[in-house]
Protein backbone atom coordinates (compact mmCIF):
# COMPACT_ATOMS: atom_id res chain seq x y z
CA UNK A 1 0.00 0.00 0.00
CA UNK A 2 1.24 3.45 -0.93
CA UNK A 3 -0.14 5.75 1.74
CA UNK A 4 -0.06 9.51 1.23
CA UNK A 5 -1.39 11.54 4.11
CA UNK A 6 -0.45 15.12 3.33
CA UNK A 7 -0.87 17.76 0.64
CA UNK A 8 2.00 19.69 -0.90
CA UNK A 9 1.26 23.34 -0.09
CA UNK A 10 3.69 26.25 0.09
CA UNK A 11 6.69 23.98 -0.32
CA UNK A 12 5.77 21.72 2.62
CA UNK A 13 3.85 18.52 3.25
CA UNK A 14 0.76 19.71 5.12
CA UNK A 15 -1.86 17.52 6.85
CA UNK A 16 -5.39 17.76 5.40
CA UNK A 17 -8.00 19.77 7.27
CA UNK A 18 -10.41 16.81 7.38
CA UNK A 19 -9.99 13.08 7.85
CA UNK A 20 -11.51 11.65 4.67
CA UNK A 21 -9.42 9.34 2.50
CA UNK A 22 -9.75 7.80 -0.94
CA UNK A 23 -8.58 4.29 -1.76
CA UNK A 24 -6.77 3.79 -5.05
CA UNK A 25 -7.46 0.38 -6.60
CA UNK A 26 -5.38 -1.60 -9.09
CA UNK A 27 -7.78 -2.35 -11.98
CA UNK A 28 -5.96 -5.57 -12.93
CA UNK A 29 -6.16 -7.16 -9.48
CA UNK A 30 -9.13 -5.25 -8.01
CA UNK A 31 -6.97 -4.93 -4.87
CA UNK A 32 -6.17 -1.68 -3.04
CA UNK A 33 -2.96 -0.10 -4.21
CA UNK A 34 -2.83 3.07 -2.15
CA UNK A 35 -4.62 5.76 -0.25
CA UNK A 36 -4.69 9.55 -0.52
CA UNK A 37 -6.37 12.26 1.55
CA UNK A 38 -9.66 13.73 0.41
CA UNK A 39 -9.36 17.48 0.64
CA UNK A 40 -12.07 20.03 1.25
CA UNK A 41 -12.66 23.71 0.52
CA UNK A 42 -10.31 24.75 3.36
CA UNK A 43 -7.44 22.75 1.83
CA UNK A 44 -8.17 24.24 -1.59
CA UNK A 45 -8.16 27.70 -0.03
CA UNK A 46 -4.81 27.14 1.72
CA UNK A 47 -3.27 26.03 -1.58
CA UNK A 48 -4.70 29.02 -3.46
CA UNK A 49 -3.37 31.42 -0.82
CA UNK A 50 0.09 29.89 -1.13
CA UNK A 51 -0.04 30.17 -4.92
CA UNK A 52 -1.26 33.76 -4.67
CA UNK A 53 1.55 34.72 -2.30
CA UNK A 54 4.17 33.10 -4.53
CA UNK A 55 2.91 34.70 -7.74
CA UNK A 56 4.58 38.15 -7.63
CA UNK A 57 8.11 36.80 -7.24
CA UNK A 58 7.68 33.84 -9.60
CA UNK A 59 6.08 35.95 -12.31
CA UNK A 60 9.14 38.23 -12.26
CA UNK A 61 11.79 35.49 -12.52
CA UNK A 62 13.99 35.77 -15.57
CA UNK A 63 13.06 33.47 -18.47
CA UNK A 64 16.43 31.68 -18.21
CA UNK A 65 15.85 30.94 -14.53
CA UNK A 66 12.37 29.51 -15.13
CA UNK A 67 13.71 27.48 -18.04
CA UNK A 68 16.53 26.04 -15.93
CA UNK A 69 14.16 25.04 -13.14
CA UNK A 70 11.75 23.34 -15.54
CA UNK A 71 14.68 21.48 -17.09
CA UNK A 72 15.59 20.27 -13.60
CA UNK A 73 12.04 19.00 -13.11
CA UNK A 74 12.28 17.17 -16.46
CA UNK A 75 15.55 15.58 -15.35
CA UNK A 76 14.02 14.60 -12.02
CA UNK A 77 11.11 12.90 -13.80
CA UNK A 78 13.53 11.17 -16.15
CA UNK A 79 15.50 9.74 -13.25
CA UNK A 80 12.26 8.19 -11.97
CA UNK A 81 10.75 7.21 -15.34
CA UNK A 82 10.68 3.46 -14.71
CA UNK A 83 9.17 3.89 -11.24
CA UNK A 84 6.52 6.31 -12.54
CA UNK A 85 5.68 3.99 -15.44
CA UNK A 86 5.21 1.08 -13.03
CA UNK A 87 3.08 3.19 -10.71
CA UNK A 88 0.78 4.36 -13.51
CA UNK A 89 0.57 0.83 -14.95
CA UNK A 90 -0.82 -0.13 -11.52
CA UNK A 91 -3.12 2.89 -11.18
CA UNK A 92 -4.54 2.92 -14.71
CA UNK A 93 -3.86 -0.61 -16.00
CA UNK A 94 -1.89 0.33 -19.10
CA UNK A 95 0.63 -2.36 -20.13
CA UNK A 96 3.95 -1.66 -18.44
CA UNK A 97 6.15 -1.08 -21.48
CA UNK A 98 3.67 1.41 -22.92
CA UNK A 99 3.18 3.06 -19.54
CA UNK A 100 6.91 3.65 -19.13
CA UNK A 101 7.19 5.03 -22.65
CA UNK A 102 3.96 7.07 -22.84
CA UNK A 103 2.59 7.68 -19.36
CA UNK A 104 5.99 8.42 -17.83
CA UNK A 105 7.75 9.57 -21.01
CA UNK A 106 5.25 12.21 -22.18
CA UNK A 107 5.54 14.34 -19.02
CA UNK A 108 9.32 14.45 -19.43
CA UNK A 109 8.83 15.66 -23.01
CA UNK A 110 6.34 18.30 -21.85
CA UNK A 111 8.65 19.68 -19.16
CA UNK A 112 11.61 19.66 -21.57
CA UNK A 113 9.61 21.49 -24.23
CA UNK A 114 8.31 24.04 -21.73
CA UNK A 115 11.81 24.55 -20.31
CA UNK A 116 12.96 25.59 -23.78
CA UNK A 117 9.93 27.82 -24.35
CA UNK A 118 10.34 29.46 -20.93
CA UNK A 119 14.00 30.14 -21.57
CA UNK A 120 13.22 31.69 -24.94
CA UNK A 121 10.58 33.93 -23.36
CA UNK A 122 7.90 35.94 -25.11
CA UNK A 123 9.31 39.11 -26.57
CA UNK A 124 7.24 42.30 -26.66
CA UNK A 125 5.57 43.09 -29.95
CA UNK A 126 5.49 46.53 -31.45
CA UNK A 127 2.06 47.42 -32.85
CA UNK A 128 2.06 50.98 -34.15
CA UNK A 129 2.74 53.19 -31.14
CA UNK A 130 2.05 50.34 -28.70
CA UNK A 131 4.29 47.81 -27.07
CA UNK A 132 2.43 44.59 -26.44
CA UNK A 133 3.81 42.45 -23.64
CA UNK A 134 2.69 38.96 -22.63
CA UNK A 135 2.12 38.77 -18.88
CA UNK A 136 1.33 35.67 -16.81
CA UNK A 137 -2.38 35.38 -16.09
CA UNK A 138 -1.88 34.64 -12.37
CA UNK A 139 -2.90 31.69 -10.21
CA UNK A 140 -3.92 28.67 -12.26
CA UNK A 141 -6.10 25.81 -11.03
CA UNK A 142 -5.33 22.60 -12.94
CA UNK A 143 -7.97 19.86 -12.77
CA UNK A 144 -7.02 16.62 -14.48
CA UNK A 145 -8.40 13.15 -15.34
CA UNK A 146 -7.08 9.60 -14.84
CA UNK A 147 -6.48 8.22 -18.31
CA UNK A 148 -3.04 9.74 -18.98
CA UNK A 149 -2.76 11.22 -15.51
CA UNK A 150 0.74 12.63 -15.42
CA UNK A 151 0.75 13.61 -19.10
CA UNK A 152 -2.36 15.71 -18.57
CA UNK A 153 -0.89 17.21 -15.40
CA UNK A 154 2.40 18.06 -17.12
CA UNK A 155 0.65 19.59 -20.14
CA UNK A 156 -0.93 22.14 -17.80
CA UNK A 157 1.61 22.55 -15.00
CA UNK A 158 4.74 22.83 -17.13
CA UNK A 159 3.07 25.37 -19.43
CA UNK A 160 1.64 27.45 -16.59
CA UNK A 161 4.99 27.57 -14.78
CA UNK A 162 6.77 28.42 -18.04
CA UNK A 163 4.39 31.36 -18.45
CA UNK A 164 5.24 32.62 -14.95
CA UNK A 165 2.01 31.49 -13.32
CA UNK A 166 1.68 29.63 -10.03
CA UNK A 167 -0.42 26.48 -9.83
CA UNK A 168 -2.79 24.51 -7.65
CA UNK A 169 -3.20 20.98 -9.01
CA UNK A 170 -6.18 18.76 -8.27
CA UNK A 171 -5.52 15.44 -9.97
CA UNK A 172 -8.07 12.70 -10.61
CA UNK A 173 -9.17 10.84 -7.50
CA UNK A 174 -8.96 7.61 -9.54
CA UNK A 175 -5.21 7.83 -10.28
CA UNK A 176 -3.70 10.43 -7.93
CA UNK A 177 -0.53 8.68 -6.72
CA UNK A 178 1.67 9.81 -9.62
CA UNK A 179 0.94 13.46 -8.78
CA UNK A 180 2.66 13.00 -5.41
CA UNK A 181 5.80 11.83 -7.21
CA UNK A 182 5.70 15.00 -9.30
CA UNK A 183 5.42 17.07 -6.11
CA UNK A 184 8.52 15.32 -4.74
CA UNK A 185 10.37 16.01 -7.97
CA UNK A 186 9.33 19.69 -7.87
CA UNK A 187 10.51 19.94 -4.29
CA UNK A 188 13.88 18.33 -5.03
CA UNK A 189 14.34 20.55 -8.08
CA UNK A 190 14.00 23.59 -5.83
CA UNK A 191 10.77 25.02 -7.19
CA UNK A 192 10.07 27.89 -4.76
CA UNK A 193 7.40 27.40 -2.08
CA UNK A 194 3.84 28.10 -3.29
CA UNK A 195 4.71 27.98 -7.00
CA UNK A 196 3.34 24.44 -7.30
CA UNK A 197 0.73 23.08 -4.88
CA UNK A 198 -1.07 19.74 -4.78
CA UNK A 199 -4.44 18.99 -3.20
CA UNK A 200 -6.24 15.70 -3.84
CA UNK A 201 -9.96 15.23 -3.48
CA UNK A 202 -13.26 14.84 -5.25
CA UNK A 203 -14.27 16.97 -8.21
CA UNK A 204 -17.48 18.35 -6.73
CA UNK A 205 -15.57 19.33 -3.55
CA UNK A 206 -11.98 20.43 -4.26
CA UNK A 207 -12.50 20.90 -8.02
CA UNK A 208 -15.53 23.13 -7.53
CA UNK A 209 -13.85 25.07 -4.70
CA UNK A 210 -10.96 25.88 -7.04
CA UNK A 211 -13.18 26.75 -10.01
CA UNK A 212 -15.21 29.14 -7.83
CA UNK A 213 -12.31 30.59 -5.80
CA UNK A 214 -12.03 34.37 -6.30
CA UNK A 215 -8.23 34.30 -6.03
CA UNK A 216 -7.84 31.82 -8.89
CA UNK A 217 -7.33 33.62 -12.22
CA UNK A 218 -7.60 30.72 -14.66
CA UNK A 219 -8.83 27.15 -14.66
CA UNK A 220 -7.38 24.56 -16.98
CA UNK A 221 -9.60 21.49 -17.01
CA UNK A 222 -9.29 18.12 -18.73
CA UNK A 223 -12.02 15.55 -18.28
CA UNK A 224 -15.59 14.81 -19.21
CA UNK A 225 -17.82 17.28 -21.03
CA UNK A 226 -20.28 17.11 -18.13
CA UNK A 227 -17.72 18.20 -15.50
CA UNK A 228 -16.16 20.72 -17.90
CA UNK A 229 -19.48 22.51 -18.32
CA UNK A 230 -19.86 22.70 -14.54
CA UNK A 231 -16.34 24.09 -14.11
CA UNK A 232 -16.94 26.73 -16.79
CA UNK A 233 -20.25 27.74 -15.19
CA UNK A 234 -18.65 28.15 -11.76
CA UNK A 235 -15.67 30.02 -13.18
CA UNK A 236 -17.99 32.41 -14.99
CA UNK A 237 -19.14 33.87 -11.67
CA UNK A 238 -15.73 35.48 -11.21
CA UNK A 239 -15.00 35.77 -14.96
CA UNK A 240 -11.98 33.47 -14.89
CA UNK A 241 -10.13 32.39 -17.95
CA UNK A 242 -11.08 28.76 -18.66
CA UNK A 243 -9.66 26.16 -20.98
CA UNK A 244 -11.41 22.87 -21.45
CA UNK A 245 -10.02 19.67 -22.92
CA UNK A 246 -13.00 17.32 -23.10
CA UNK A 247 -14.16 14.17 -24.82
CA UNK A 248 -14.07 13.02 -28.41
CA UNK A 249 -15.55 10.73 -31.03
CA UNK A 250 -12.80 10.94 -33.60
CA UNK A 251 -13.05 9.58 -37.13
CA UNK A 252 -10.37 7.81 -39.12
CA UNK A 253 -11.24 8.31 -42.77
CA UNK A 254 -9.83 5.92 -45.34
CA UNK A 255 -10.25 7.78 -48.63
CA UNK A 256 -11.09 5.75 -51.78
CA UNK A 257 -7.51 5.89 -53.14
CA UNK A 258 -6.16 4.26 -49.96
CA UNK A 259 -9.03 1.79 -49.77
CA UNK A 260 -8.45 0.66 -53.37
CA UNK A 261 -4.91 -0.45 -52.62
CA UNK A 262 -4.75 -3.67 -50.55
CA UNK A 263 -1.49 -2.78 -48.81
CA UNK A 264 -2.61 0.77 -47.96
CA UNK A 265 -5.99 -0.44 -46.74
CA UNK A 266 -4.28 -2.97 -44.45
CA UNK A 267 -1.94 -0.29 -43.11
CA UNK A 268 -4.77 2.18 -42.54
CA UNK A 269 -7.00 -0.32 -40.76
CA UNK A 270 -4.18 -1.60 -38.57
CA UNK A 271 -3.13 1.94 -37.64
CA UNK A 272 -6.70 2.95 -36.86
CA UNK A 273 -7.37 -0.12 -34.71
CA UNK A 274 -4.15 0.55 -32.78
CA UNK A 275 -5.17 4.18 -32.18
CA UNK A 276 -8.62 3.02 -31.05
CA UNK A 277 -7.35 0.41 -28.59
CA UNK A 278 -4.43 2.31 -27.05
CA UNK A 279 -4.90 2.45 -23.27
CA UNK A 280 -7.94 0.15 -23.67
CA UNK A 281 -9.70 2.85 -25.67
CA UNK A 282 -9.43 5.31 -22.78
CA UNK A 283 -7.86 8.03 -24.88
CA UNK A 284 -9.72 11.27 -25.51
CA UNK A 285 -8.50 11.46 -29.11
CA UNK A 286 -8.95 7.70 -29.81
CA UNK A 287 -9.97 6.93 -33.39
CA UNK A 288 -13.23 5.22 -32.55
CA UNK A 289 -15.04 5.57 -35.89
CA UNK A 290 -13.50 4.01 -38.97
CA UNK A 291 -14.98 5.41 -42.20
CA UNK A 292 -14.49 3.22 -45.28
CA UNK A 293 -15.94 3.18 -48.81
CA UNK A 294 -19.02 0.91 -48.77
CA UNK A 295 -17.55 -1.29 -51.51
CA UNK A 296 -14.53 -2.07 -49.29
CA UNK A 297 -16.43 -2.41 -46.00
CA UNK A 298 -16.12 -6.18 -45.75
CA UNK A 299 -12.39 -6.24 -46.52
CA UNK A 300 -11.80 -3.48 -43.96
CA UNK A 301 -13.95 -5.36 -41.44
CA UNK A 302 -11.92 -8.57 -41.86
CA UNK A 303 -8.67 -6.63 -41.42
CA UNK A 304 -10.02 -4.84 -38.34
CA UNK A 305 -11.10 -8.12 -36.75
CA UNK A 306 -7.64 -9.62 -37.30
CA UNK A 307 -5.95 -6.51 -35.91
CA UNK A 308 -8.24 -6.32 -32.86
CA UNK A 309 -7.83 -10.00 -32.06
CA UNK A 310 -4.08 -9.47 -31.79
CA UNK A 311 -4.84 -7.36 -28.68
CA UNK A 312 -5.67 -10.11 -26.21
CA UNK A 313 -6.51 -8.54 -22.84
CA UNK A 314 -4.12 -9.51 -20.07
CA UNK A 315 -1.98 -8.62 -17.08
CA UNK A 316 -0.37 -5.19 -17.66
CA UNK A 317 2.85 -6.55 -16.16
CA UNK A 318 3.12 -9.53 -18.57
CA UNK A 319 5.76 -8.98 -21.25
CA UNK A 320 3.46 -9.56 -24.25
CA UNK A 321 0.31 -7.74 -23.08
CA UNK A 322 -0.95 -4.97 -25.37
CA UNK A 323 -4.37 -4.43 -23.78
CA UNK A 324 -4.91 -3.96 -20.07
CA UNK A 325 -8.15 -3.65 -18.08
CA UNK A 326 -10.40 -0.61 -17.91
CA UNK A 327 -9.71 1.71 -15.03
CA UNK A 328 -12.72 1.04 -12.79
CA UNK A 329 -15.58 -1.40 -12.43
CA UNK A 330 -18.02 1.41 -13.30
CA UNK A 331 -16.12 2.20 -16.48
CA UNK A 332 -16.18 -1.48 -17.50
CA UNK A 333 -19.93 -1.71 -16.92
CA UNK A 334 -20.52 1.45 -18.92
CA UNK A 335 -18.54 0.10 -21.85
CA UNK A 336 -20.27 -3.29 -21.73
CA UNK A 337 -23.64 -1.48 -21.81
CA UNK A 338 -22.57 0.41 -24.92
CA UNK A 339 -21.62 -2.90 -26.57
CA UNK A 340 -25.03 -4.38 -25.71
CA UNK A 341 -26.68 -1.27 -27.10
CA UNK A 342 -24.72 -1.59 -30.34
CA UNK A 343 -26.03 -5.13 -30.76
CA UNK A 344 -29.59 -4.09 -29.82
CA UNK A 345 -29.58 -1.23 -32.34
CA UNK A 346 -28.57 -3.57 -35.17
CA UNK A 347 -24.84 -3.04 -35.69
CA UNK A 348 -22.93 -6.17 -36.75
CA UNK A 349 -20.78 -7.48 -33.89
CA UNK A 350 -17.68 -8.70 -35.72
CA UNK A 351 -15.49 -9.61 -32.75
CA UNK A 352 -15.47 -9.06 -28.99
CA UNK A 353 -18.68 -8.51 -27.06
CA UNK A 354 -19.92 -7.68 -23.58
CA UNK A 355 -18.87 -10.97 -21.93
CA UNK A 356 -15.77 -11.08 -19.75
CA UNK A 357 -12.70 -12.30 -21.62
CA UNK A 358 -11.86 -15.94 -20.94
CA UNK A 359 -9.12 -16.91 -18.52
CA UNK A 360 -8.97 -13.70 -16.50
CA UNK A 361 -10.22 -14.32 -12.98
CA UNK A 362 -10.02 -10.74 -11.80
CA UNK A 363 -9.60 -7.33 -13.33
CA UNK A 364 -11.95 -5.00 -15.20
CA UNK A 365 -11.21 -6.33 -18.67
CA UNK A 366 -13.29 -5.82 -21.80
CA UNK A 367 -12.82 -7.76 -25.03
CA UNK A 368 -11.54 -5.68 -27.92
CA UNK A 369 -14.74 -5.18 -29.88
CA UNK A 370 -15.37 -4.28 -33.50
CA UNK A 371 -18.77 -3.41 -34.95
CA UNK A 372 -19.45 -3.27 -38.70
CA UNK A 373 -22.25 -1.61 -40.70
CA UNK A 374 -22.61 1.09 -38.07
CA UNK A 375 -25.14 3.76 -39.01
CA UNK A 376 -24.70 7.37 -37.92
CA UNK A 377 -27.84 7.37 -35.79
CA UNK A 378 -26.68 4.49 -33.59
CA UNK A 379 -25.57 5.22 -30.04
CA UNK A 380 -22.14 3.62 -30.63
CA UNK A 381 -21.57 6.08 -33.49
CA UNK A 382 -22.47 9.10 -31.40
CA UNK A 383 -21.40 8.65 -27.77
CA UNK A 384 -17.88 8.62 -26.43
CA UNK A 385 -17.53 5.03 -25.18
CA UNK A 386 -14.05 5.30 -23.61
CA UNK A 387 -13.39 1.59 -24.07
CA UNK A 388 -11.88 -0.78 -26.66
CA UNK A 389 -14.74 -0.49 -29.14
CA UNK A 390 -14.43 0.39 -32.83
CA UNK A 391 -17.37 1.34 -35.08
CA UNK A 392 -16.85 0.76 -38.81
CA UNK A 393 -19.07 3.06 -40.87
CA UNK A 394 -19.47 2.66 -44.64
CA UNK A 395 -19.71 5.74 -46.86
CA UNK A 396 -20.85 6.18 -50.47
CA UNK A 397 -18.59 8.98 -51.64
CA UNK A 398 -16.15 11.55 -50.25
CA UNK A 399 -18.86 14.09 -49.60
CA UNK A 400 -20.62 11.60 -47.37
CA UNK A 401 -17.31 10.67 -45.71
CA UNK A 402 -16.78 14.30 -44.73
CA UNK A 403 -20.36 14.72 -43.62
CA UNK A 404 -20.11 11.61 -41.41
CA UNK A 405 -16.72 12.63 -40.00
CA UNK A 406 -18.14 15.98 -38.90
CA UNK A 407 -21.51 14.58 -37.79
CA UNK A 408 -20.67 14.61 -34.10
CA UNK A 409 -20.98 16.92 -31.14
CA UNK A 410 -17.23 16.54 -30.60
CA UNK A 411 -14.23 17.83 -32.53
CA UNK A 412 -11.00 16.58 -30.98
CA UNK A 413 -8.98 14.28 -33.23
CA UNK A 414 -9.12 12.62 -36.60
CA UNK A 415 -7.13 10.79 -39.23
CA UNK A 416 -7.02 10.70 -43.01
CA UNK A 417 -5.46 7.98 -45.13
CA UNK A 418 -4.67 8.71 -48.78
CA UNK A 419 -1.54 8.19 -50.91
CA UNK A 420 -2.04 11.68 -52.38
CA UNK A 421 -0.74 13.94 -49.59
CA UNK A 422 -2.29 17.11 -51.00
CA UNK A 423 -5.68 15.49 -51.19
CA UNK A 424 -5.36 14.17 -47.63
CA UNK A 425 -4.43 17.65 -46.40
CA UNK A 426 -7.34 19.25 -48.26
CA UNK A 427 -9.71 16.74 -46.65
CA UNK A 428 -8.15 17.30 -43.21
CA UNK A 429 -8.70 21.05 -43.53
CA UNK A 430 -12.44 20.42 -43.82
CA UNK A 431 -12.58 18.30 -40.68
CA UNK A 432 -13.85 20.30 -37.70
CA UNK A 433 -11.33 18.94 -35.22
CA UNK A 434 -8.32 20.27 -33.36
CA UNK A 435 -5.87 17.76 -34.80
CA UNK A 436 -5.73 15.39 -37.76
CA UNK A 437 -3.06 12.74 -38.41
CA UNK A 438 -2.33 11.91 -42.02
CA UNK A 439 -1.27 8.38 -42.98
CA UNK A 440 -0.41 7.42 -39.40
CA UNK A 441 1.81 10.41 -38.59
CA UNK A 442 3.06 10.58 -34.99
CA UNK A 443 1.92 12.79 -32.14
CA UNK A 444 3.77 16.13 -31.98
CA UNK A 445 4.60 17.64 -28.59
CA UNK A 446 5.27 21.07 -30.05
CA UNK A 447 1.94 21.31 -31.87
CA UNK A 448 -1.19 22.72 -30.21
CA UNK A 449 -3.60 20.10 -28.87
CA UNK A 450 -7.27 20.77 -28.15
CA UNK A 451 -10.77 20.63 -29.47
CA UNK A 452 -13.50 22.19 -31.55
CA UNK A 453 -17.18 22.08 -30.54
CA UNK A 454 -17.95 20.09 -27.38
CA UNK A 455 -14.40 18.78 -27.20
CA UNK A 456 -13.60 22.08 -25.54
CA UNK A 457 -11.63 25.25 -26.13
CA UNK A 458 -8.10 26.39 -25.53
CA UNK A 459 -4.92 24.60 -26.56
CA UNK A 460 -2.22 22.68 -24.73
CA UNK A 461 1.39 21.76 -25.59
CA UNK A 462 4.12 23.75 -27.26
CA UNK A 463 4.10 27.55 -27.51
CA UNK A 464 0.32 27.63 -27.92
CA UNK A 465 0.00 25.75 -24.63
CA UNK A 466 2.11 28.33 -22.79
CA UNK A 467 0.19 31.19 -24.44
CA UNK A 468 -2.99 29.92 -22.78
CA UNK A 469 -1.52 31.28 -19.55
CA UNK A 470 -0.41 34.67 -20.86
CA UNK A 471 -2.42 37.89 -21.10
CA UNK A 472 -1.43 40.49 -23.71
CA UNK A 473 -0.95 43.97 -22.27
CA UNK A 474 -0.77 46.95 -24.64
CA UNK A 475 1.19 49.97 -23.51
CA UNK A 476 0.72 53.04 -25.71
CA UNK A 477 3.78 55.24 -26.06
CA UNK A 478 3.57 58.89 -26.88
CA UNK A 479 5.80 59.55 -29.86
- Residues of this chain that bind ligand NAD (CB under 6 A): 143-147, 152, 170, 172-173, 202-204, 207-208, 211, 222-224, 227, 230-231, 245-248, 284, 384, 386, 412, 451, 455-456
184 among known catalytic residues: no
Instruction: From 183, 155, 196, select the one nearest 80 (Cα to Cα).
Output: 183
Q: Which is nearer to ligand NAD, 243 or 321 (CB)?
A: 243
CB of 258 to ligand NAD, least distance (A): 27
Distance in Å, CB of 42 to ligand NAD, minimum? 17
Instruction: Kindly write down the DSSP assignment for every residue of 243-303, as one continuous string.
Output: EEE----EEEEE-HHHHTSHHHHHHHHHHHHHHHHGGGG--TT-EEEEEEEGGGHHHHHHH
Phi/psi of residue 221, nearest 5 degrees? -120, 135
Residue nearest to ligand NAD (CB): 203
Cα separation, 439 vs 431, whole angstroms:
15
How far does Cα 459 stand from its chain's mean position?
12
- C-alpha closest to that of 459 among 187, 177, 242, 199: 242
Minimal distance in Å, beta carbon 36 to ligand NAD? 12
Strand, helix or coil for residue 368:
coil
284, 384, 460, 468: which one is catalytic?
Answer: 284
- Other beta carbons within 10 angstroms of residue 175's beta carbon come to 28
Nearer to ligand NAD, 315 or 460 (CB): 460
**C-alpha 36 chain-centroid distance:** 22
Tell me the pairing of strands 218-222 and 139-143: parallel
Query: Is 436 within 8 Å of 416 (Cβ atoms)?
Result: yes
Active site residue 86: no
Name the minimum Å distance from CB 225 to ligand NAD: 6
Out of 208, 245, 384, 460, which one is annotated catalytic?
245
- HEC assignment per residue over 49-107: HHHHHHHHHHHCCCHHHHHHHHHHHHHHHHHCHHHHHHHHHHHHCCCHHHHHHHHCHHH
Nearer to ligand NAD, 102 or 418 (CB): 102
Q: Least distance (Å) from ligand NAD to the CB of residue 144?
A: 6
End-to-end CA, the chain: 67
Closest approach, Cβ 7 to ligand NAD, in A, equals 15
Angle between helices 105-120 and 149-163 (to 10 degrees): 10
Catalytic residue numbers?
Answer: 245, 284
Amino acid sequence: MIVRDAFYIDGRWVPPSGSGTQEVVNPATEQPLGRVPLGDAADADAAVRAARAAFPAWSRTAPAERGALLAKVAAGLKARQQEIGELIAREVGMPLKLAVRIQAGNPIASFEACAAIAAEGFADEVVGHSRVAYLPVGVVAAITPWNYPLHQIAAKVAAALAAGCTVVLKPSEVAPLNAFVLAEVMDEAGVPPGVFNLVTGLGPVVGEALAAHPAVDAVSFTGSTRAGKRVAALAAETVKRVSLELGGKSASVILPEAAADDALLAQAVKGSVGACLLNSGQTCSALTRLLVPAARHDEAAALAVAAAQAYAPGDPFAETTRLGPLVTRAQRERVRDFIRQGVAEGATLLTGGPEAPEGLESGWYVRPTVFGDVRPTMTIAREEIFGPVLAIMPYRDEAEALQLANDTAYGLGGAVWCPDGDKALAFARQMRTGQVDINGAFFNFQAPFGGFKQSGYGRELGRHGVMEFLEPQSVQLKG
